[in-house]
Amino acid sequence: MNPPPQQDIQPQKTIIIAAHPDDEILWFSPVLDKADAVVICFLDIPTDPAISEGRRRCISGYPALNVKWLEIEEAGCAGLADWRKPLPTRYGVGIHNRGAACKYRKNFGRLVALLKTILPGYTVIYTHNPWGEYGHEEHVQVYRAVKHVCNELNGEQSIWCPGYVSNRSAALMAYYQSIFQNPSRIFKTGKRVPGLKRLYQKHGCWTWFSDWQWPAEEIFLMDGPGKYEDGLAAGCQTARRLPVQLIMLSE
């Protein structure tokens, strides 16, 4: 009797989709060396030419990783959501500034169009969580764009998100906590942390706390099925035990 034919097992390909320069090391350091590719979505800040120029200098001095810079201009929306009563939307979260909100929506379209050309072929995706870790509007948007494209690709990719949340973003996390499934993953913090932090600080474009201390281990959560295109996660009233790492921000 002939043995049954063996199914071809496709090798897993891993990609990180990070919003801004320095997000890849802040939130994805444990998988930075494991990833086949890294995508950094935004670059210039219209209101801060010094950081914009510093980020561009970092590109030329960046270590030998397979990094793709999409160079989308930021929408200038940081801090413009109502984080006490956040409004989930198809393109991210509601923004309380007409001009920034318009650019924010346009950037969602740009992200989707670009990610449609990048994500096919990747089976494991690490990207921001839907409450934006500590609460950043463009982190939320990147998650929604990745989720949108993966749904169009029939959801065959697994999406993993950092398990960080802050007192600012906890209300938005409540909308989405029910979509995350077990198992979670715990990795040791990556070895590239000191070098990349120094690179960004050298060029004056490190945007997080200067004395930030990474934990020894970091949690990643597996995103669940579902489109949630209306911005509301089905079953959000259900209590869920979710392993997270808490960041306390001053009000």
Per-residue pLDDT reduced to its tens digit, 112-166: 999 999 999 999 999 999 999 999 999 999 999 999 999 999 878 999 999 999 9
Strands 164-166 and 245-247: parallel
pLDDT above 80 (res 181): no
Please give the pLDDT value at position 230. Answer: 41
pLDDT above 90 (res 4): no
Instruction: For CA atoms 189, 210, 76, 196, give the dihedral sign.
Output: negative
Please give the pLDDT value at position 3. Answer: 53
Q: What mean pLDDT is predicted for residues 44-67? A: 94
CB 42 within 8 A of CB 214: no
Q: How many CB atoms lie within 10 A of CB 71?
A: 13
Percent of the chain with pLDDT over 70: 89
Strands 67-72 and 37-42: parallel
Q: How many CB atoms lie within 10 A of CB 194?
A: 11
DSSP tag of 7:
P
DSSP tag of 208:
S
